[in-house]
Structure 1
Amino acid sequence: MWAEVLEECLKQAGLAPVSWTNYLYLTVGGTLSNGGISGQAFKLGPQISNVLQLEVRWVRAFYDSFRTFTEDQELLVSMPELVEYVEGFVVLDEQSLHSSSIAFPAQVNFSPDFDGGRKVYYCIEFAVHDFQQQQGGSPADHVVELVSARLSYLKPHVYSVEVSYFDFLNRVRMEEESLRSRGLWDVPHPWLNVFVPKHGVERFKDLLMDTISPGEFEGPILVYPLLTDRWDGNTSAVVPSSPDGVMYIFSVLRSTDPARCDSACVQGIMEQHRRLADEACRDGGSIGAKQYLARQQSPAHWRDHFGSRWDRFVSRKARFDPMHVLGPGQGIFPRTDSVASSM
């Protein structure tokens, strides 16, 4: 598990990798085989592309405009010499505001008017590492002030707190424990992760919000930018074409309450996600998105997903796994009869 790697690194040497996934209780091989992303990926690339003793200054700022929210996120990722981590999320209602604050160890005096569920808000979070002091750079507090002064958040709603490097990286564990305490961890989690090029973010956000009823939604909706040139084009990971080099990850990380959402309800959510993804990823459509950690419906859908990179992918599969032993559950390549009969 990545959490164990982090604990041992910090225990033995006070050092650790610098690019992580948000949730650390995943296997090392599992995330490396898919890339591994979080708000650090804009600067360092995915986990597979990438160690420092430090504390972290963790900052959150709130917005009522999606456009301003994304513009400020792009401003932050343009300052990699100052900012180490950038993410953001949608604040649907009081419950989502509370849930998102579980791991953030500072008092947040933000009490917005959700207008009966008709209005949503947004939150940017970014982090500055205190190792800059050791390298002769600006103290973290000064960096936070410098960066925050350039943002157009809802005044005065910016909040900052210093936490240990371990606690910052392990923040999702606290959210997991909260869900476990409410019986919402070992339940179906119909998730959707989509890479959206910059030009399509407004359109995709509107499509997504049309599928969500705030009072019935449980879980975070993450939205943050990534830079396409940090992704190695020699891997099988597929990212959308984005002329300006910026794409957004939309992660709909839903939990379903069995008392309110039975199997038919879960299937309905998954079908809703499929329709949303189909529209967003439609060849020739106005959005031009690509699914991350996709589960396509058929080999033909996989071919559409890979696009111009399909032939290279097929060639590599034929060279390195001609019997189709690896990854049959994804439905990209059916197993040959001889392999299936020997299993």
Structure 2
Amino acid sequence: MNSELFYAVLGGLGQFGIITRARIPLQPAPRGVKWVRLLYDDFSSFTKDQELLISKNGRKDKSALDYLEGSLLMDQGSPDNWRSSFFPHKDHPKIISLITKHGIIYCLEVVKHYDDRTKHTVDKVLQGLNYMPGFMFGKDVGYEEFLNRVRSGELKLKSQGLWDVPHPWLNLFIPKSQISDFNNGVFRGIVLERNITTGPVLVYPMNRQK
């Protein structure tokens, strides 16, 4: 028994665990991944689209996404973050101009695994969403490349000596009835006004029954 390991788990803010038994069902890897980011200047439209997409989560629902994440884009120079380079370089000026105008831009990231028959499924899923016209960016990547997308960011931070330093992390559950107040009070009232632009701010929708 390793007491230090167990105490480390207890003090890990819920980010560590000890797996004592696991059963992992195997399945064929998808042929590719459709990876899309959508930009919003309106928080209400952003969260409503998140809620709509997360509602399509049945295993047999062909319109269900395989990954859904929201984030904030703020004045940090390049619109690409430390985790991955995504936006086409030619579009950086118009994205930066948008961020400068609004202070905060909300980014919705959606991913759909596909094979030859389902490659265009994600295009149908995105129909009717209320992102800003002209601010949808997508690309097709290999499944392994998507799973390993954080690796390049890790190498970048290591080269700058910023990887092996404390990375405090805070997870909060915000009820639907208070997310608008949280946006105004925290995202805009604290993060934006105090120019706290370092580190990622992620927004995940969750179904209550989960």
TM-score by length of 2: 0.74
Matches of 1:74 and 1:88, distance apart in 2:
11
Q: What does residue range 107-256 of structure 1 map to in structure 2 within 5 Å?
A: 109=91, 110-115=95-100, 119-131=103-115, 133=116, 139-140=118-119, 142-209=120-187, 210-213=189-192, 215-230=195-210
| RMSD, aligned α-carbons | 3.0
Whole-angstrom CA distance in 1 between matches of 2:109 and 2:43: 14
Letter in 2 for 1:88: G
- Give yes or no for contact 2:83–2:150 (8 Å, CA) kept in 1: no
Contact 2:83–2:152, Cα closer than 8 Å, also in 1 = no
Q: Which amino acid aligns with 2:137?
A: Y
Q: Distance in 2 between matches of 1:160 and 1:31?
A: 35
Residue 52 in structure 1 maps to residue 28 in structure 2: yes
2:67 paired residue number? 85
> Per the alignment, do residues 162 and 150 of structure 1 end up closer, same or farther by CA in structure 2, a change over 3 Å counting?
same
**Secondary structure of 1:112's partner?**
helix
Q: Letter of the 2:16 partner, please give it.
A: G
Of the three residues 48, 66, 91, the one matched with 1:71 is 48
Q: Does the Cα contact within 8 Å between 2:87 and 2:137 map onto a contact in 1?
A: no
SS at match of 1:196: coil
Please tell me whether the aligned partners of residues 75 and 99 of structure 2 are also in contact (alpha carbons under 8 angstroms): yes
State the Cα distance separating 1:31 from its structure 2 match.
Answer: 5.2
Q: Distance in 2 between matches of 1:167 and 1:58?
A: 11
Number of residue pairs aligned between Structure 1 and Structure 2: 182
Question: Which whole-Å deviations, capped at 9, do the CAs of 1:122-178 have from their partners, x for residues lacking one?
Answer: 1101111114x4xxxx532x2122122221111111111111212112212222222
Per the alignment, do residues 206 and 31 of structure 1 end up closer, same or farther by CA in structure 2, a change over 3 Å counting? farther
SS of 1:99's equivalent? coil
1:113 maps to amino acid: L
Contact in 1 for aligned 2:83/2:153 (Cα 8 Å) = no
Measured against aligned partners, the alpha-carbon deviations of 1:25-73 in whole angstroms (never above 9, x if no partner) come to: xxxx93577xxxxxxxxxxxxxx99833112111111010111111111
Unaligned runs of 5+ residues in structure 2 are: 1-14
Distance 1:195 1:57, change over 3 A: same
Retained in 1: the 8 A contact 2:78–2:96? no
TM-score, L = length of structure 1: 0.47
| Residue type of the alignment partner of 1:93 | D
Stretches of structure 1 that go unaligned for 5 or more consecutive residues are 1-28, 34-47, 231-343
The residue aligned with 2:12 is none
Deviations 1:77-134 (A, max 9, x none): 1223222111010011143622267343755723333347x62101101111114x4x
| SS of residue paired to 2:96 | coil
Please give the alpha-carbon distance, in whole angstroms, between the structure 2 residues aligned to 1:52 and 1:208: 42
Q: Paired residue for 1:236?
A: none
Q: Which has the larger radius of gyration?
A: 1
AA in 2 matched with 1:120? I
Calculate percent identity across the aligned residue pairs.
34
Higher share in helix: 1
- The 1:215–1:126 alpha-carbon spacing in structure 2 relative to 1, beyond 3 Å, is same
